């Protein structure tokens, strides 16, 4: 995950959004947990894209 660049982070974020949407529709009772994990993942991806190891 350390090779993520700014150009690909948008694509990964979009794919994660679609994936999380599918999970939320399939398992609505886990909505709160999934949303929390989603924001954590987006934050980590954003930091990795910003730092560019």
pTM of the predicted model over 0.75: no
User: What is the total count of domains within the chain?
Assistant: 1
d(CA 8, CA 1) in angstroms, rounded, equals 11
Residue 1 in domain: no
Q: Is 51's pLDDT higher than 70?
A: yes
**What's the CA gap between 17 and 27, in Å, rounded?**
15
Whose tokens are 């991806």? That residue is 45
Q: Which domain holds residue 27?
A: 22-53
- Is 50 contained in some domain? yes
Query: How many CA within 13 A on the CB side of residue 18?
Result: 5
The answer, yes or no, to whether residue 52 has pLDDT greater than 70, is no
Whether 46 maps to a domain, the answer reads: yes
48 domain-assigned = yes
- Does 29 reside within a domain? yes
**Would the pLDDT of 53 be above 60?**
no
**Widest pairwise Cα distance in the chain:** 37
Q: Is residue 26 part of a domain?
A: yes
pLDDT digits (tens, 9 = 90+) for 4-37: 555 566 777 777 777 777 777 777 776 777 777 7
Domain membership of residue 39 (yes or no) is yes
């Amino acid at each position: 995950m350390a090779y993520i660049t700014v150009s690909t982070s948008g694509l990964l974020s979009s794919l994660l959004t679609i994936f999380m949407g599918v999970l939320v529709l399939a398992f609505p009772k886990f909505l709160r947990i999934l949303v929390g994990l989603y924001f954590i993942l987006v934050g980590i991806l954003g930091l990795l894209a910003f730092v560019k190891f």
